[in-house]
A and B are shown apart, each in its own frame.
Chain A
């Protein structure tokens, strides 16, 4: 497809389990971003990649969260020992290049994570 895709669309897991969320950016976009959106809130920045490297991971809440983008395209957000407070919609976005004034970010539909 032409847009950003995310899988799965919904994920239900139990407290303490490990989950992986996948993002396929728009082809040719070098920058990829992860955001978390809790109910009734705007998205909050987690991490962004420029190519394969994490250029800014200051938004990751703690060391249970980490993300990879080994080949500079698909990215996986990994959450260890999930907690109920991790329940949210995780949004991925991509842009042609980071650090430019008009770097339009295109968002995927999100993955809704529910931790029971």
Chain B
């Protein structure tokens, strides 16, 4: 069973709209939780990193939240742009902070 589950699997929104992606995890204990953006044919790029003691972290139009009690995280994207079209992957780091455990990702398509 995948230790990091994401929803929805895919999402289509209009340019300028907001959206929220969800992540539930069972990895415990963990070192930190990350959100990555992966464009087609490219490697993942880090958006945010949060330790278990942090509950929100922003990076421009991206805001991630973390509830360590319920083991849930979300990534909110505001004022979406066409360039936001990508796969967004939730990642939990093992307690040693080395190996990353990836979710399957949410594929976001932003249309004009």
Contacts and interface: CB of A to CB of B under 8 A. Distances in A.
A74 to B, nearest CB: 17
Contact of B98 (A48, A91, A102, A104): A48
A25 interface: no
B46 interface: yes
A103 interface: yes
B102 A105 contact: no
Given A104-B46, A105-B46, A42 B32 contact: no
Q: How large is the interface on B (under 10, 10 to 19, 20 to 34, 35 or more residues)?
A: 20 to 34
A68 B46 CA distance: 26
A26 interface: no
A102 B99 CA distance: 12
B75 to A, nearest CB: 14
Given A42-B4, A104-B46, A108-B43, A56 B97 contact: no
B43 A4 contact: yes
A93 interface: yes
Interface in B46-99: 46, 49, 51, 89, 91, 96-99
Interface string A18-35: 000000000000010101
Given A102-B49, A103-B97, A110 B43 contact: yes
A43 B99 contact: no
Given A42-B4, A42-B103, A42-B104, A98 B45 contact: no
Interface of A: 4, 31, 33, 35, 40-45, 48, 55-56, 58-59, 91, 93, 98-110
18 contacts: A31-B98, A33-B100, A35-B100, A43-B89, A45-B101, A55-B98, A59-B99, A99-B96, A99-B98, A101-B32, A103-B97, A104-B49, A105-B46, A108-B43, A109-B41, A109-B42, A109-B43, A110-B42
